[in-house]
Structure 1
Amino acid sequence: MFRNLLYEGSRILRRKMSITTKRLDNGITLLMEDIKSINTASLGFFVRAGVKNELPGEEGISHFIEHLLFKGTTNRSAKEISEEIDDQGGMINAYTSVEKTAYYIQMTSNTLEIGIDILNDMFLNSTFTDENIEKERNVIIEEIRMYEDIPEEVVHEENLGFAITGAQSQKVAGTIESLKGIDREKILKYFYDMYKPENIVVAAAGNIEEEKIFKQLNEGIGQLKDRSTKRVYNGDMVINSGEKIIVQETNQVHLCINTLGTSSTDKDRVEASVISNVLGGNMSSRLFQKIREERGLAYSVYSYTSNFDEGGLFTVYAGTTHEDYKEVISLIEEELKELKENGITEKELQRAKNQFLSMVTFGLESSKGKMTRMAGSYLVYGYVRDIETVIKEIEDVNLNDIKRVAKKIFDEKYISKTILGNI
């Protein structure tokens, strides 16, 4: 049954996709996929400017700028930016991660032009007034305080900082102290340095008119000039070992156990993802069944991988009780050892492959999913990887590869723990 599902998923995914790649006048890459079978479109500006690019004294500035671009231009107020999108029934949003900041719209096809005009305006004409900077500084400080009241958020953030030495482990929002040191001069310098043509990719997918989009973008963000200065960036990262205890009054004990992960382009990244899926990726995973279903020791238990250009981290999380947390740690460590020594079963491998193919399929059934895939692939590889390559990587994973990678990543010298709670 598993093999038939895998074959069927591969056959569906291999349907030919037509992606157009163009260059705007200033060199910005534009990726487009026209899908006439739907009536919506998604378009995003993706910038290679994230947490890891922030120098000392700039912690949180990428996220700060993400907020500020919505706060007004020379042509529109913050209210007008949101109202023009809402009036058309569209959606505009953004996010900041370790390696990029993205701004995107989702519109009906016949209103896409309005959304593009707003994104162009935000990138070319944002005012970054002192008044807005102070307002958003306070907003983000409250955002930080809100997350500080959520123990699960705190443990993941603190865990990343403990498990990794390097810029990749900095907090996306920064700290209250770092935000207070970011003024308009720093904001403009970072914006000019990072928001330059060579760092920007635009992706559009849906029922679109490619020539019309190209023309509108070329007349807009295609006129963005490079005003950058030289920046010295150190992307080296080290995976640490050890244990960090955070004593805090909580109803649960929250814990993360980490080991070596893989980079975004590592040849073993698919195998590591399969291992994570089998270990704690879903309700049929080993840890979910053993810790939650069989013993009732945790409501939430899962694993995930964090992949960066320079390396990665493999993490298991569980939220449990003060009385049970040591047993939960012991069970997780037992499962890591079992995977390292014996790998996984054929049934587990085929289940994971089917789930990955399903995720790819789901992502290709929406304009947003297609937009995100194109941009993400281009930012990592410098081109859009074809679906056939993605499928083959999944299909080629075998039990021997899984065992080899498990032995590598579950080496005790990489194991670290972060434990938060009233302990």
Structure 2
Amino acid sequence: MSEFRSVTLDNGLQVVAEVDNRGYSAAIGYFVRAGARDENDSQSGLSHFLEHMMFKGTATRSAADVNRELDELGGQSNAYTSEEQTVYYAAVLPKYQRRMVDLLSDMMRPRLDADEFATERGVILEEIAKYEDQPPFGAFERVMECCYGPRGLGRRVLGTTESITNMHVDTMRDYFSARYRPENMVLAASGNVDFDDLVEQAGEATAAWNDLPMPAEFASDNKDVLPEGVELNPRLSVPDATQAYRVTLSGGPSMAASDRYAMRLLASIIGDDGGSRLFWDLIDTGRAEIATLWPQEYSDTGALFSYLVCTPDQMDSNIRLMNEAIDLVVRDGVKQDELDQVINKTVAGVIMASERPSQRLFGLGSHWLCCREYLSTDELLDAYRRVDVAAIGDAARNYLCCEPTEVIASASDEPSLTT
């Protein structure tokens, strides 16, 4: 059986683990409360930029040393940045736990060299250009900006070409000093983990982390002026596009909301990418290439996204079909057998994912960072199994009845005929 353990070090770093000595691997990661919503205009894209720089060397390791050692330890390692956090993680054999904790902890105190910064700026700019040149051509970023505004949750994770071009390495150093403090971080582990040794090693490796100087308070943004490079037009003109792309965003439950399980199941019933109502109505019939709906949970709120890809001439009729499918659920709810089917599918997915420590790590670290709450696999399964038809109906009425924010990217910048 797995066991949850947690300790707060003297410097404020939270160390948490879901220990299961039956496993053949261990997953370890640093979760940092540093995401796009924490940035101001001059820092836009900095959390993600900083994620790249964490692999560019420390006081004791060069960039080549960091990447060579990651390869030597095998397993898998990577990092990602979201609206609310940056995560650095690795899955290794248990015998490499100490070496990986040493490496990851060292990486959390990077050199932030000016020359490496200048080089990596070009990589980030290429990433932005590549992302904006691929479907749906920035429609997800635009719908977040239109719904939440261009700051906070609406701020782009990658930043803009303008913000990255104008960014200075000292801005990154100050942001690092403010966000990468031990009280703002969680060291999480799952699988075949020696927790006592993890705590002891973390205490030694991070003992001096509070020595970081606290920078002056960051400048406030001028809310009356759009950040440079940001537009709020809900229609994106893509001259060479052969398909049309529609993204919508409305409210949803947060990471801590009790109805988040019902909303996840409801979204799967309506818009899962296989076997859902939208799949049979739009995908299986050949009307659309993609027609999905899913929730995204944040620490203090939530979002419900939909995504539709089809030929421009079918866009309006497909929007009507999607709206009809949503209205039908709000009006008539779902049948018990339909709910049973999606619960069985979801439970099976949770069980299979729980067999991999790396999969458990993300839920463990993220939820603890944002909510200071642990949820075991059994508790998660029970939460899904407790959802009934009435709870699905409540979720439908609470989250499906409001008018969503809509963004359409297509070869024409003419608005859709559907309202």
TM-score normalised per structure 2 = 0.90
Q: 2-side partners of 1:326 and 1:289: how far apart? A: 18
Q: CA deviation at 1:17?
A: 2.5
1:251 is matched with which residue?
242
- 1:37-66 Cα offsets, whole Å, 9 max, x none, are 233211000001111111121110100110
| Matching of residues 263-282 of structure 1 within 5 Å | 263-282=254-273
Partner of 1:296: 286
What CA deviation, in whole Å up to 9, does each residue of 1:264-297 have, x standing for no partner? Answer: 222222222121111111311000110011x311
Q: Which amino acid aligns with 1:281?
A: D
- Distance in 1 of aligned mates of 2:233 and 2:320: 14
Taking the aligned partners of 2:219 and 2:366, their CA distance within structure 1 comes to: 24
Structure 2 residue aligned with 1:228: 214
Q: Please say if residues 259 and 313 of structure 1, whose CA atoms lie closer than 8 Å, have aligned partners that are also in contact.
A: yes
Which structure 2 residues correspond to residues 119-198 of structure 1 after superposition, within 5 A?
Answer: 119-124=104-109, 126-152=110-136, 154-165=138-149, 166-198=151-183
- More divergent stretch after superposition (24-33 vs 95-104): 24-33
Q: Distance in 1 between matches of 2:377 and 2:218?
A: 36
Instruction: Write the distance in 2 (CA, Å) between the matches of 1:355 and 1:34.
Output: 26
Residue of structure 1 aligned with 2:346, choices 356, 381, 405? 356
1:286 aligns with 2:277: yes
What's the CA shift string for 1:334-390, capped at 9, x where partnerless? 111111111111122112212222232122101112222221221232131234442
**Aligned equivalent of 2:366:** 376
Q: Are the counterparts in 2 of residues 43 and 203 from structure 1 also a CA contact under 8 Å? A: yes
Q: Matches of 2:130 and 2:68 in 1, distance apart?
A: 27
Q: 1:81 aligns with which of 50, 66, 72?
A: 66
* Matched residues, number: 398
Q: Is structure 2 residue 403 aligned with structure 1 residue 419?
A: no
Partner of 1:378: helix, strand, or coil? helix
Runs of 4+ in 1 over 3 A off after TM superposition: 226-234, 386-389
3-state SS of 1:174 partner: coil
2:83 pairs with 1:94: no
1:108 counterpart (74, 81, 93): 93
Residue pair 2:144, 2:249 contacting (<8 A) in 1 also: no
- Is residue 271–residue 397 contact of structure 1 (8 Å, CA) maintained in 2? yes
Instruction: Please give the alpha-carbon distance, in whole angstroms, between the structure 1 residues aligned to 2:246 and 2:20.
Output: 44
Unaligned 5+ residue runs, structure 2? Answer: 222-231, 413-419
Counting only pairs closer than 5 Å after superposition, residues 377-396 of structure 1 correspond to structure 2 as 377-396=367-386
Does the residue aligned with 1:151 lie in a helix, a strand or coil? coil
Of 197-206 and 219-228, more deviation after overlay is shown by 219-228
**1:181-227 per-position Cα deviation (integer Å, ceiling 9, x unaligned):** 22122111111111111111011122232222222211112431154
The Cα shift of 1:243 comes to 8.5
- Counterparts in 2 of 1:89 and 1:185: CA distance versus 1, 3 Å: same
Identity %: 26
Letter in 2 for 1:223: A
> How far apart, CA to CA, are the structure 2 residues paired with 1:281 and 1:253?
20
**Unpaired runs of at least 5, structure 1:** 1-15, 235-241
Aligned to 1:328: 318
Tell me, yes or no, if the aligned pair for 2:82 and 2:157 is still in contact at 8 Å: yes
Q: Find out whether 1:214 has 2:214 as its counterpart.
A: no
Is residue 34–residue 84 contact of structure 2 (8 Å, CA) maintained in 1? yes
| Structure 2 Cα separation of the partners of residues 387 and 233 of structure 1 | 42
Q: Are residues 312 and 33 of structure 1, via their aligned partners in 2, closer, same or farther at CA, if it must alter by over 3 Å? A: closer
Counterpart code for 2:166: G
Measured in 2, the distance between the counterparts of 1:224 and 1:98 equals: 24
CA contact (8 A) 2:254 2:298 kept: yes
Counterpart AA for 1:391: L
Counterpart secondary structure, 2:384: helix
| Distance in 2 separating the partners of 1:116 and 1:272 | 37
Distance (Å, rounded) in 2 between the aligned partners of 1:211 and 1:396:
36
Shift of 1:33: 2.9
Give the alignment partner of residue 5 of structure 2, picking from 12, 17, 20: 20
Amino acid at match of 2:169: R
Deviation at 1:93, TM superposition (A): 0.9
SS in 2 for 1:133: helix
Q: Cα deviations across residues 107-151 of structure 1 (Å, max 9, x unaligned)? A: 122122222111111113x11111011111110000001111112
Q: Is the 8 A contact 1:273 1:305 kept in 2?
A: yes
The residue type equivalent to 1:155 in the other structure is A
Structure 2 counterpart SS, 1:20: strand
CA contact (8 A) 2:142 2:234 kept: no
Q: Distance in 2 between matches of 1:204 and 1:303?
A: 31
What is the CA distance between 1:25 and its match in structure 2? 3.0
CA distance in 1, matches of 2:386, 2:343: 10
Distance change in 2, residues 1:177/1:231 (3 Å): closer
Instruction: Give distance in 2, aligned partners of 1:153 and 1:18.
Output: 44
Q: Deviations over 1:136-186 (max 9, x none)?
A: 111000000111111225222222222323511111110010112221221
Q: Is contact 2:137-2:409 (8 Å) kept?
A: no
In 2, Cα distance between equivalents of 1:115 and 1:393: 34
1:349 and 1:334 mapped to 2: Cα distance? 19
